[in-house]
Amino acid sequence: MTHEELIPVIRRLSIEAGAKIMEIYNSDDFDVKVKSDDSPVTAADEAADAIISAGLRAAFPDMMLVTEEQADSHSAKGDTFLIVDPLDGTKEFIHRRGDFTVNIALVENGVPTRGVVYAPAKDRMFYTLADGQSVEETGDLSPEAIGPVSPINVAASDNAALMVVASKSHRDQATDDYINKYSVQDMKSAGSSLKFCLVATGEADLYPRVGRTMEWDTAAGHAVLQGAGGKVVRFDDHTPLTYGKDGYANPFFIAYAPGVELKSA
């Protein structure tokens, strides 16, 4: 599998999954179930996962695949693999807030190197090209035809007036205490992996996450941010956030534009 082969496939599958998600989102009602970890799951999560996992397995049968909705994939071991969160921001979906995303990424040697983040309710799509540069695609986002793309790059941050983005559903005192260490011009709240993309486009400088996440929540956004010149590090020691960890659970982390002067935890 080459990067040139991968990118058109993950772009198309994210759009097809997004169309199915929006079909369910715009219906009169949908069922919400609760998984063993008390997180919600809907028919949209499951339908999107079926589209993406079938497509990836057909295109790249020899590549290890980890996906949130298939628990048996969580025991797979490796440092190079495809990783999927078919609907990140299920709470945003349930409350019809629009801040949910489709996420597909390639992790190579523990680093997310290529990925796509698609927010179907917001008509925003971000992904890495084969060469690693991140772009935002505009237009009608057809599965078969790539529309206009614009390279995205992180901001040249002003440490006296930072833009910070934080979670809509998981904001807490620990997050606020850390943000208060910075000179903040303005705050944004966003759901799901869109927070990485707002840093990638320069719409925000800093996204600290003091809370539980899994690798499938972050890998695609991490890849997009990295391809726009940004970084993601552990909250505790500012070393790079790596992937393929036991159980696929992340430590707390900070996503940021490199011009930001990071404060200690």
Q: Which two tokens stand for residue 261?
A: 């002067």
pLDDT at 191 over 90: no
- Cβ–Cβ < 8 Å for 13, 125: no
Q: Which residue, 60, 200, 214, 61, is CA-closest to 128?
A: 200
Q: Give the pLDDT confidence score for residue 40 in this predicted structure.
A: 65
- Cβ–Cβ < 8 Å for 116, 103: yes
Angle at CA of residue 253, ends 247 and 259, nearest 5°: 145
Q: Count Cβ atoms within 10 A of the Cβ of residue 16 and give its class: 0-12 exposed, 13-18 middle, 19 or more buried.
A: middle
At 54, the amino acid letter reads A
- pLDDT band, very low/low/confident/very high, at 35 (cuts 50, 70, 90): low
Q: Give the pLDDT confidence score for residue 100 in this predicted structure.
A: 93
Q: Count Cβ atoms within 10 A of the Cβ of residue 79 and give its class: 0-12 exposed, 13-18 middle, 19 or more buried.
A: middle
- Ranges assigned E (strand) in the chain: 32-34, 40-42, 65-67, 81-88, 101-108, 111-119, 124-128, 134-137, 149-151, 162-167, 184-190, 206-209, 213-214, 231-234, 249-250, 253-256
* Arithmetic mean of pLDDT, 130-137: 98
Sequence-distant (≥ 6) Cβ neighbours of residue 199 within 8 angstroms: 154, 165, 205, 206, 207, 225, 228, 230, 255, 256, 257
Higher pLDDT, 38 or 70: 70
Sequence-distant (≥ 6) Cβ neighbours of residue 191 within 8 angstroms: 89, 91, 92, 97, 99, 100, 167, 168, 169
pLDDT at 28 over 90: no
pLDDT at 42 over 90: no
Q: What radius of gyration do the chain's Cα atoms show?
A: 17
Q: What is the pLDDT of residues 68-123, one digit of tens each?
A: 999 899 999 999 999 999 999 877 888 888 889 999 999 999 999 999 999 999 99
CA distances 58 to 11, 130, 190, Å, are 15, 20, 34
Share the mean pLDDT of the chain: 93
Percent of the chain with pLDDT over 70: 96
Sequence-distant (≥ 6) Cβ neighbours of residue 50 within 8 angstroms: none
For residue 190, count other CB atoms closer than 10 A to its CB: 22
The rounded distance, in Å, linking the Cα atoms of 207 and 189 is: 10
CA distances 130 to 2, 5, 224, Å, are 8, 8, 12
- Cβ–Cβ < 8 Å for 113, 132: yes
- What size, in residues, is the chain? 265
